[in-house]
Amino acid sequence: MTGYRLNGLTPLTGRLLSFFIDDVIVLARKKGYKSIWLVGNSLGGSGALFYIKAHPEDIDGVILLGPFLGDKELMAEIEAAGGVQKWEPGDVTDDDYDRALWGWIKQAPSSAPPVFLCYGKEDRFSGSQALLASILPSSRVVAVQGGHDWKSWKRAWDILFTRHLSSPDTPLP
H helix count then E strand count, the chain: 7, 4
Residue 56 inside a domain? The answer is yes
Report the alpha-carbon distance of residue 67 to residue 64 in Å, rounded.
6
Domain-located, residue 51: yes
Is the pTM above the cut of 0.95? no
CA distance 111 to 129: 22
Give burial (CB, 10 Å; 0-12/13-18/19+) of 142. Answer: buried
H helix runs in 4-149, sequence order: 11-19, 26-30, 43-54, 72-80, 97-107, 126-133
Q: Using one digit for the tens of pLDDT, what is the confidence trace for 40-95?
A: 999 889 889 988 988 899 999 999 999 999 989 999 999 999 999 999 999 988 77
Is 22 inside a domain boundary? yes
Q: How far is CA 51 from CA 40, 62, 157, in A?
A: 11, 10, 21
Q: Does 10 score more than 60 pLDDT?
A: no
For the chain, percent of residues with pLDDT exceeding 90: 55
CATH number, domain of 82, equals: 3.40.50.1820
Domain-located, residue 48: yes
Number of domains into which the chain is organized: 1
Neighbours of 78 (CB within 10 A): 25
The parent domain of residue 103 ranges over: 11-166
* The pLDDT of residue 120 is above 80: yes
Q: Is residue 171 part of a domain?
A: no
pLDDT at 144 over 70: yes
Residue 173: pLDDT band with limits 50, 70, 90: low
Q: How far apart are the first and last CA of the chain?
A: 28
4 belongs to a structural domain: no
> Exposed/middle/buried for 25, CB within 10 Å: 0-12, 13-18, 19+?
buried
* pLDDT at position 66: 97
Residue 88 lies in a domain: yes
Q: Is residue 172 part of a domain?
A: no
